[in-house]
């Protein structure tokens, strides 16, 4: 029998579902997905849009919930941002920080990532810091990861999601050797107790292939399909 080690599985729903669609997924699909998860040692975190978070945390307070981002200041005149205090009040336990889409489309910087990490930790919310090289940076992965991590090194109990940008939504994934190299770079910089998730075109076959290198997965499009998500949970 396979010895199962607890994995953290984070479903990043991005902006794929409307509020009504997300509520309906949570109501109709989440119970059976959680039932499957309960047969394993794994933890599943759902990260819907801000608008749906309170619906989720209210209906299923015992499930784990995550936000997709957070404001870089605690409060103030930051139109459009959502504060760490709001996340805390909603009962959110996790928050993605510095996802490549936030870096690319919202100009989130490494400095802001560090600010967000500090704010979240102060409120007892676990940050999941996303890092990864673009296709043009493939030859300098080590340097890129180093730069993205520099300002958060020294934080205890970090969770880092290694997501090669070229792998997000493309179906391309690193080889197990490439993944092992990146994991070693991150653990060298942040400490061996750092938990590392892999993200980018995650499927059930990929989690079986990568499972021994990482402590969990950040799952985008496959997490929107309850059957695919169950398969992923069972393949970890
Ligand atoms: P993907 O997205 O699984 O659809 O590639 C991953 C992510 O961006 O977190």
pLDDT digits (tens, 9 = 90+) for 162-191: 999 999 999 999 999 999 999 999 999 999
Say how far apart CA 165 and CA 145 lie, in whole Å. 12
Which of the residues 42, 43, 163, 215 is marked catalytic?
Answer: 163
29 catalytic residue (yes or no): no
Adjacent-strand bridge partners of 219: 11
pLDDT tens-digit map of 189-225: 999 999 999 999 999 999 999 999 999 999 999 999 9
Average pLDDT across the chain, whole number: 97
Q: pTM above the 0.85 mark?
A: yes
Q: Output b/e per residue, 139-172; b: 16+ Cβ within 10 A.
A: eebeebbbebbebbeebeebbbbbbbbbbbeeee
Which residue has a Cα nearest atom 2 of ligand 1?
220
Which residue has a Cα nearest atom 9 of ligand 1?
220
Q: Tokens 């139109």 map to which residue? A: 79
Of 101, 174, 166, 93, residue with least CA distance to 128: 93
Which of the residues 42, 99, 101, 133 is marked catalytic?
Answer: 99
β-strand 195-199 against 94-97: which pairing, if any?
A: unpaired
Say how far apart CA 40 and CA 231 lie, in whole Å. 12
- The model's confidence at residue 156, banded by pLDDT at 50, 70 and 90, is confident
How is residue 141 written in tokens? 């992965």
Q: Tokens 């493939």 map to which residue? A: 138
3-class secondary-structure state, position 44: strand
42 catalytic residue (yes or no): no
Residue 210 is predicted with a pLDDT of 97
Residues in the chain: 236
Q: How far is the CA of 76 from the centre of ligand 1 (A)?
A: 31
Say how far apart CA 125 and CA 111 lie, in whole Å. 19
CA of 101, closest atom in ligand 1: 8
Q: Are 133 and 167 in contact (CB under 8 A)?
A: no
Q: Which of 67, 104, 218, when mutated, tests ligand 1's pocket best, judged by the most ligand atoms within 8 Å of its CB?
A: 218
Say how far apart CA 165 and CA 136 lie, in whole Å. 10
Of 46, 58, 45, residue with least CA distance to 17: 46
């Amino acid at each position: 029998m396979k010895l199962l080690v607890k994995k953290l599985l984070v479903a990043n729903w991005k902006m794929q579902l409307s509020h009504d669609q997300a509520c309906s997924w949570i109501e109709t699909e989440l119970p059976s997905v959680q039932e499957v998860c309960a047969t394993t040692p794994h933890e599943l975190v759902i990260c819907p849009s801000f608008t749906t978070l309170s619906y989720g945390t209210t209906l299923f307070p015992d499930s784990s919930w995550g936000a997709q981002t957070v404001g870089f200041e605690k409060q103030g005149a930051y139109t459009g941002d959502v504060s760490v205090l709001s996340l805390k009040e909603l009962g959110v336990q996790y928050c993605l920080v510095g996802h490549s889409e936030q870096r690319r489309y919202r100009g989130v910087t490494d400095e802001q990532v560090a600010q967000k990490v500090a704010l979240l930790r102060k409120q007892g919310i676990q940050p999941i810091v996303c890092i990864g090289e673009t296709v043009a940076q493939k030859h300098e992965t080590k340097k890129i990861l180093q730069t993205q991590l520099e300002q958060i090194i020294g934080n205890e109990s970090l969770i880092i999601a290694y997501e090669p940008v070229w792998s997000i939504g493309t179906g391309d994934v690193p080889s197990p050797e490439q993944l092992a190299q990146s994991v070693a770079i991150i653990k060298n910089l942040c400490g061996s107790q750092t938990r590392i998730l892999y993200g980018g075109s995650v499927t059930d076959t990929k989690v079986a292939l990568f499972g021994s290198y990482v402590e969990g997965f950040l799952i985008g499009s496959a997490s929107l399909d309850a059957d695919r998500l169950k398969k992923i949970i069972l393949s970890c």
